[in-house]
Every structure is written in C-alpha cells, then in structure tokens.
Structure 1
Amino acid sequence: MATKYLDLTFTDSVRRAQQQYYGRAGVITGAPERDPLSQAEAEFIAARDSFYLGSISESGWPYIQHRGGTQGFLRVIDDTTLAFADYKGNRQLLTTGNVSVNDRVALFLMDYKNRARLKILGHARVEDARFHPELVAQIADSNMRSSVERLVFIDIVSFDWNCPKYITPRYSIGEVEELAEPLRKRIAELEAQLRAYSK
C-alpha cells in the first residue's frame, strides 16, 4: 500500500469517523513526498480501456467523468506521469475548466473481469493540442489524431489498490467473444458429428 495516499486521505475528519465506527484511527507517519508507480501499476494502467476522472469545481462541487478509448490510451509516460489525448466531445469542458483553477484530480481504474481497482491522486494540466503536434503524435491513437483537442498530463502523487470485495465481474464484448469461441467450435464439431450419424 502506498503510504502517501493514506497520508493525504486520512484527514482529521476521516480519523474521527474511524474512531467513531471502529474504535481506532489510522496514524500515518514517514510518508514520502510521492509514491511512484511500480511495474504492477504501469501494467494495470496499460491494460485499461477506460477510467473515471474526478476534479473539483470553483464552487467546491466534485465532478466525475468517464474516459474511454483503445486499450492503453491512458499512457504511462514515466513512474510519476500519466497522459491521455482528449478528443472532441460535448463541448462542456467541465474537467478542463476545473483543473485550470484547482489541479487536484483523482483517477479510478477498474478491472471488472479480475475484480481489481486502482485509485490515483495527482495534479493535472491541460495543454492545447494545436500547439503541441509532437505530443499528439506521441500520445494519441494514430486513427484519432485529427480529433484531438487537448492533451491531459497527470503528475502522480500517490495511488492505492482496493480489495476485490463487492466488485461485480463484468466483461467486454471482446472478452465474451474470446470466452465463447471454444464453445462455438465445440458446438460446430458436435453438429458435424450429428449430421454424419444421420446420413
């Protein structure tokens, strides 16, 4: 478990709640300035085709949006930096506006199939893609580069893994097709055998 994550999230009010409900409060000491990603986190991130991104508005309200793309569209630049291309969308630009005044963000990455989740805290910055064609070429999917409007960089402060409890397994269409393919082949074999016996 990354110590800095708990150092940041175990606030006084959280510790009071822990004391009230469990009779003890978490005490975090010796947290580093940041927790860099290990190979396990980097591989988990690279395997995702979506994540949820939370930011905070000027009025103090949290905002969460879903981001999706091809597997690995959230790029691990190095052990403390993530980036993704932001494409043309509904033109609300809520996250873009939010991080311009408060750069703190939270990412929530789910692997429903394997019942795993990774939470990341960091600072985000948004760059106008028109002024950084070299970064667009590095970060964006080659088939989507013409639709990139912004590039989002996240300076990671820390992360935390959650237990699999209460995660309902879900599967993408591709994963279902992969699981069903051997069954289809076996059904085809049995049907061929039935046809041969009936002749």
Structure 2
Amino acid sequence: MDRYHRGSLAVQERVGVRELADHVGRSIGSGIRDVAAAFLAGQPHLVAGAADGDGRMWASMLTGPPGFVRAEGRDRITVAGGLPDGDPLAGALATAGTRVGTIALDPRTRRRMRLGGTLEVTAGGFAVGAERVFSNCPKYLQKRQPLELVAEGPGILWRGPALTPGQVRAVRAADTFFIATEAGAQETDASHRGGMPGFVEVLSPTELVWPDYPGNAMFLTLGNLVADDRAGLLFPHWESGALLQLSGRARTEFGAAGERRVRFTVEAVVEGLHPGRLRWSAPEYSPANPPVHRGSTTR
C-alpha cells in the first residue's frame, strides 16, 4: 500500500521529516483491529468529510447511540442513519461510490481514529470500505464530558457565502474544528485541529488563518491541499450541539524557522442544529496547546 502520495511527500521533504514520516506511516493500515472496533462501538458521533454533488468539500457530524458506528470484520464499518435533509453532505452520504474520510474522536478520553474509503449504501444507512485506517496521538484534543442528548432540532438555520458577525465570534472562540480534504479523486480525509480559543484567526468574513502545529509528520491534510485546494471545515459548538460548516479553498504558507499556517477562503457557509445532537461540558484544555500568537508566519 502506498502510504503517501506526492503532495504529502513534497511537504515532508520541505519540512525535513521524510525519515520520521516513513516510520510513523507504518501505523497506516487497511484493516480494522479489534481495539479499533471496540473504540468505534463506544462512540456517540462520527465526523465525515466528502465532496457534494457540485464538487465542494464539506465536513459534517453524525450522532447516534453508541453502537451506531460498527466495524464489520476488518475491512468495513457501518453507520446507522444519516444526515438530516439540508445538510450539505446528506446527498453524498446517500450515494454509492462517494469517497469518504471519517474521524471518530472521543472527547472523554482524548482518543481519535481515522478511516477513509468508498461508501456503500445500506438499508439502514451506509458503510465505508476500510482502505486507510490509523490512530493519532492525543495532542491538541480538549477533554469534555457528554451532558444531554437533544432529540429535536430545527435543522438548517442559515446559508450564505460569508460569515455573519455571530459566526465570526463563534470561530474566534473555537478550540476545535475538523477539516475535510481530498487529493483529486484518489484520497479523501477528515482530520482534527485544536488549540486555545483564538488559534483560528478571522481576517474577514471570507478569510481565516490558523497555525499548523507540530503533529505526526505525515502531513496528510497539507499534502492533500498541495494536490487539491478544496477544503471543508466543521466548527462544532459543543455546549449547544450546533454545527457551523464552511466550504472553500485553502493553501499552506511556510515561514521562517519551520513555521506554517493555513489560509482558508470561505465560499459557502451552513449553520444548523441537527436533531439528535449531543451537548457537551466546558473543556479541559489540552496541555499541549501552545499559546496563541498572531502573525508569526509570513503572509
């Protein structure tokens, strides 16, 4: 199995971590181990990333009782249910052949697992063939506890081409978001970014920037952006269960001393309160979170 495509390899070379990336990349497999299957079975939500029918990248969150995501053998997961009408990924996650990246992240334990593959439609939801499976370290994950399941929800509240003032405030206050990327039609990925509130800077209603903190040296997200600059962001409001979804274009800026940051241009915004959402406690911030600095990388 080719663990990295040329986009990830190019970033690894530029940052000088090719040897480390080769070592870490041994954790990427195509099979679901027993410990991963047990982890999935205990999760109340799953983040999925994919392109919609118009080719825009989006990330969204599916929620259900533990067990709604299950491993079937070593090469397939099943997901019961789907997304409500109006979610920008509702159609893609009901279409066979969609390339999907998923991440299961447990705020209770600071554990996370990523799985990517091709979607199959099932009688009760969908399945994803396990083509790339691996876990990440707990860096930059905030710890939270579930509080309440909210059965009802109005669904999609707002759509537009740019952030509203209230959405700008929500992004600036965020300590977590998810990012969906794709390397052409080959590899779709959903990943996590975390930090102290303010680590995502809003330069305007259509432009965001955030630092790329040191991680596992794989550079799967940044590598995908080398090949394809489309990206989808998901900002969950943990305390209310609201979802803020952005679709647009992203590029990496490399600065001095190995610093990196990603600049994102907003093209479409969706805000919603899905039925069946979870409300979570206030965070216990990760001890790995760096202090927030502004403008430390060349624009």
Same topology, TM > 0.5: yes
Matched, 1:75 2:185: no
Gaps of 5+ in 1: 19-33, 131-145, 176-199
Matched, 1:61 2:187: yes
Q: How far off its partner does 1:87 sit?
A: 1.4
Letter of the 1:167 partner, please give it. R
Select the residue among 156, 168, 175 that pairs with 1:42. 168
Q: How far off its partner does 1:89 sit?
A: 1.2
TM-score after normalising by structure 2: 0.41
Select the residue among 256, 266, 275 that pairs with 1:156. 266
Conserved? CA contact 1:112–1:167, under 8 Å: no
Deviations 1:80-112 (A, max 9, x none): 100000111110011111001100000011012
Runs of 4+ in 1 over 4 A off after TM superposition: 5-11
| CA RMSD after TM alignment | 3.1
Larger radius of gyration: 1
Q: 1:71 to 1:100 in 2, by over 3 A?
A: same
Select the residue among 196, 219, 222 that pairs with 1:96. 222
Conserved? CA contact 2:53–2:91, under 8 Å: no
Name the structure with the higher strand share.
2
Name the structure with the higher helix share.
1
Q: 1:8 to 1:96 in 2, by over 3 A?
A: closer
* Pairing 1:133-144 to 2, within 5 Å after superposition: none
Task: Give distance in 2, aligned partners of 1:74 and 1:107.
Answer: 12
Letter of the 2:175 partner, please give it. D
Task: Give distance in 1, aligned partners of 2:195 and 2:211.
Answer: 9
Select the residue among 277, 280, 285 that pairs with 1:167. 277
Q: How far off its partner does 1:60 sit?
A: 2.3
Task: Give distance in 2, aligned partners of 1:172 and 1:6.
Answer: 36
Gaps of 5+ in 2: 1-51, 57-85, 96-159, 286-299
Task: Give distance in 1, aligned partners of 2:255 and 2:276.
Answer: 39
Letter of the 2:164 partner, please give it. S
Task: Give distance in 2, aligned partners of 1:127 and 1:156.
Answer: 17
Q: How far off its partner does 1:79 sit?
A: 1.1
Task: Give distance in 2, aligned partners of 1:6 and 1:160.
Answer: 16
Letter of the 1:45 partner, please give it. V
Question: How many percent of aligned residue pairs carry the same amino acid?
Answer: 25
Task: Give distance in 1, aligned partners of 2:248 and 2:227.
Answer: 14
3-state SS of paired residue (1:158): strand
